[in-house]
Amino acid sequence: MAASSVVSFGRLLPLLRPSPFGDKEMIQKLMAFSGGLTGRITTLLAQAAELAFREKIESISLELLERAAGAGVFKLPVEEEPDEANA
C-alpha cells in the first residue's frame, strides 16, 4: 500500500484531529507491523482509530499505533534459534 493510499484511508477514519499518515516514520512503522499487506494495514489503522476514540485522543500517533500493534495480532514472527537437542 503506497503512502498516498494510507493518507487517503486515514481521511476516512472517524477521528476529529488529523493523524500523521504521510510522515515517513509512520509509513515505516505501518509496513513493519503489517508486513506491507493492505488488509493488515487497514485493520491495524482501524484498531488504532478505535483506541484513539476510546481514549478521547481523536488522532493516531506513532505511540498509539505501536500500542495497537502490540496487541499481538500484528507482531511479526520472531525467528527461533534451532533447538540444540534436535540439531
The pTM score is 0.75
How is the chain split into domains, by residue range?
3-69
pLDDT digits (tens, 9 = 90+) for 24-54: 999 999 999 988 898 899 999 999 999 999 9
Compute the distance between CA of residue 86 and CA of residue 33 in angstroms, rounded to an integer: 31
What is the structure's pLDDT at 76? 46
Average pLDDT for 58-80: 74
CA torsion, ordered 67, 74, 24, 48, to nearest 10 deg: -40
Average pLDDT, the chain: 82
Share above pLDDT 90 across residues of the chain, in percent, rounded to a whole number:
47
What are the CA-CA distances from residue 71 to residues 5, 12, 16, 64, 84 (Å)?
24, 23, 24, 11, 31
Half-sphere exposure of 22 (CA within 13 A, CB side): 5
The predicted-structure confidence for 77-87, as pLDDT tens digits, reads as follows 444 445 555 54
